[in-house]
């Protein structure tokens, strides 16, 4: 064990010991509940410090539950039986088929052929690709790393734009614009990013708000579309490329599509499954099938037809990694909520504010929550650390739970655009060396102001129409 890993683990142990032995335990919280609180806070800190991989860290936390508390192994491991965890896993398998068959790349090239005659049009085409894939792929890293980023780089190099002196020709703008679009599409869908279903689960268990694929999309669609239109244009103004007319890009996409040939049988089957699964999610209110079962039906259909093989399933490392940390975090969050700690926290924080006007607390809290992401390298860690706490504080002040659930869940995704480490695709795009550190953070901050303005006006207005507040 190296020194860095050792001191990071030491910090986590100190956090646990400080919470359990150094802080006064509220009378309404049991000894077991207080120990669980220490484990939870140490785990969240671990996701930020990363002494080891997040999945390994969560697995250790789940293992410690029966050892340090009276939690039974059945209860500690219950998160791995949660349908939400299986939804994410099945969606990853479907996404693997989208990439393996080439259908995702075909979709991207199709958009570039239609809209890629200008540099701004290319950014819209690739953003639309990511948005379409976000309807079913719960990994913004898989979407961008496997589909949009390679095409983005290929088009930049088509115009001689490479890292270094020629980056500003086209690549700088494309990398920054497409990444900011990824953050918006992540906020628009229940499946837009791996921790979105976690936010939905927390909302359901916290106050009984039912967040479904359809309700999330309906809520996020209007402000999301506005951001998808404005954000690439704003990045264009901030990082104006020297090459603005790009007829060769559209021709490149057309040539690549010709080289791909007609859609294969596997692509046609996958298209039908894609449409079928999304259709089942959209019509959940009619047939009452759990969204996880709908996703598993899609994965099973791909396995039966051979579009997806069992070797693909076994080798999908990202899916199994998320299955481990996601299931563990689901159960840790559920158990923490049952301890009454969040209720005590809300009561204590609420007592600090004399005003009963929840708006006067909500707006500053939302800004603090948003810009706190400068300190996070993971949307999940950000969400776990602050989402339940802010829900508890603001509902205690009478804020409408529907407004809180969607604003804090969506803003966690939007805030990932601030830095070059905000979510998984960030280091992927930044590592291409087209965008300087200074430009990345400058653009991230200015785009954040635009997103806050859009979602704080159009978004809140739309949510008023929907009756969320």
- Given a cut of 80, is residue 354 above it in pLDDT? no
- 149 within 8 A of 429, measured Cβ to Cβ: yes
- Given a cut of 80, is residue 317 above it in pLDDT? yes
| Average pLDDT of the segment spanning 220-239 | 97
For the chain, what is the radius of gyration of the CA atoms? 22
- Given a cut of 90, is residue 450 above it in pLDDT? yes
The pLDDT, as a whole number, for residue 185 is 96
Confidence class of residue 1 from pLDDT cuts 50, 70 and 90? Answer: low
| Average pLDDT of the segment spanning 175-192 | 95
The pLDDT, as a whole number, for residue 63 is 96
pLDDT, tens digit, 9 for 90 and up, residues 95-108: 888 888 988 889 98
Confidence class of residue 353 from pLDDT cuts 50, 70 and 90? Answer: low
State the chain's maximal CA–CA distance in angstroms.
Answer: 70
Q: Which of 213-227, 245-259, 299-313, 442-456 has the weakest average pLDDT? A: 245-259
Nearest to 340 by CA among 15, 28, 16, 25: 28
| Average pLDDT of the segment spanning 445-469 | 96
Confidence class of residue 286 from pLDDT cuts 50, 70 and 90? Answer: confident
| Average pLDDT of the segment spanning 328-332 | 85
Mean confidence (pLDDT) of the chain:
89
pLDDT, tens digit, 9 for 90 and up, residues 394-431: 888 889 999 999 999 999 999 999 998 888 889 889 98
- Length of the chain (residues): 469
The residues facing 118 across adjacent strands are: 245
- Given a cut of 90, is residue 378 above it in pLDDT? no
The pLDDT, as a whole number, for residue 335 is 87
The pLDDT, as a whole number, for residue 415 is 96
Percent of the chain with pLDDT over 70: 97
pLDDT, tens digit, 9 for 90 and up, residues 427-440: 889 988 899 989 99
Q: Give the separation between CA 417 and CA 441, rounded to whole angstroms.
A: 9
Confidence class of residue 341 from pLDDT cuts 50, 70 and 90? Answer: confident
The pLDDT, as a whole number, for residue 20 is 94
**Most confident residue range from 16-30, 134-148, 195-209, 445-459:** 445-459
- Given a cut of 80, is residue 356 above it in pLDDT? no
- 161 within 8 A of 167, measured Cβ to Cβ: yes
The pLDDT, as a whole number, for residue 377 is 76
The pLDDT, as a whole number, for residue 395 is 87
| Average pLDDT of the segment spanning 16-28 | 92
Nearest to 402 by CA among 236, 203, 108: 203
pLDDT, tens digit, 9 for 90 and up, residues 152-165: 888 888 888 999 88
Q: SS in 3 state form for 114-174? A: HHCCEHHHHHHHHHHHHHHHCCCCCCHHHHHHHHHHHHHHHHHHHCCCCCCCCHHHCHHHH
Q: Give the separation between CA 71 and CA 76, rounded to whole angstroms.
A: 6
- Given a cut of 80, is residue 393 above it in pLDDT? yes
pLDDT, tens digit, 9 for 90 and up, residues 33-75: 999 999 988 988 888 788 998 889 999 999 999 999 999 999 9
């Amino acid at each position: 064990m190296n020194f860095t890993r050792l001191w990071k683990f030491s910090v986590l142990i100190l956090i646990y010991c400080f919470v359990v032995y150094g802080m006064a335990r509220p009378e309404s919280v049991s000894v077991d509940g207080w120990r669980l609180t220490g484990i939870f806070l140490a785990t969240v800190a671990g996701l930020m410090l990363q002494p080891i991989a997040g999945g390994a860290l969560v697995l250790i936390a789940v293992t410690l539950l029966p050892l340090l508390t009276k939690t039974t192994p059945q209860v500690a491991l219950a998160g791995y039986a949660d349908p939400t965890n299986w939804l994410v896993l099945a969606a990853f398998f479907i996404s693997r088929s989208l990439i393996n068959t080439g259908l995702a790349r075909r979709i991207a090239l199709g958009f570039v052929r239609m809209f890629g005659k200008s540099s701004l049009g290319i950014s819209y085409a690739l953003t639309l690709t990511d948005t379409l894939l976000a309807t079913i792929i719960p990994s913004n890293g898989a979407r961008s790393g496997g589909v949009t980023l390679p095409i983005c780089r290929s088009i930049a190099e088509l115009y001689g734009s490479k890292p270094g002196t020629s980056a500003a020709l086209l690549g700088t703008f494309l990398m920054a614009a497409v990444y900011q679009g990824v953050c918006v599409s992540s906020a628009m869908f229940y499946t837009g990013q791996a921790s979105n279903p976690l936010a939905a689960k927390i909302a359901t268990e916290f106050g009984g708000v039912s967040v479904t694929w359809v309700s999330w999309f309906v809520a996020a669609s209007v402000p999301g579309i506005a951001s998808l239109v404005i954000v690439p244009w704003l990045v264009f103004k901030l990082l104006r490329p020297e090459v603005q007319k790009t007829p060769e890009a559209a021709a490149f996409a057309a040539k690549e599509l010709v080289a791909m040939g007609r859609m294969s049988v596997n692509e046609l089957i996958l298209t039908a499954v894609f449409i079928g699964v999304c259709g089942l999610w959209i019509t959940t209110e009619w047939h009452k099938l759990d969204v996880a079962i709908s996703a598993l039906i899609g994965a099973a259909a791909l396995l039966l037809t051979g579009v997806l093989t069992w070797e693909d399933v076994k080798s999908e490392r990202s899916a199994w990694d998320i299955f481990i940390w996601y299931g563990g975090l689901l159960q840790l969050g559920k158990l923490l909520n049952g301890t009454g700690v969040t209720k005590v926290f809300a009561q204590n924080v609420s007592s600090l504010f004399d005003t009963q006007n929840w708006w006067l607390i909500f707006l500053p809290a939302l800004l603090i929550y948003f810009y706190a992401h400068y300190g996070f390298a993971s949307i999940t860690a950000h969400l776990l650390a602050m989402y339940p706490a802010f829900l508890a504080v603001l509902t205690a002040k009478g804020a409408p739970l529907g407004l809180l659930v969607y604003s804090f869940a969506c803003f966690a995704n939007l805030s990932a655009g601030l830095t070059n480490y905000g979510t998984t695709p960030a280091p992927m795009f930044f590592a291409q060396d087209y965008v300087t550190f200074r430009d990345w953070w400058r653009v991230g901050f200015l785009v954040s102001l635009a997103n806050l303005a859009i979602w704080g006006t159009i978004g809140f207005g739309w949510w008023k129409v929907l009756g969320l507040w």
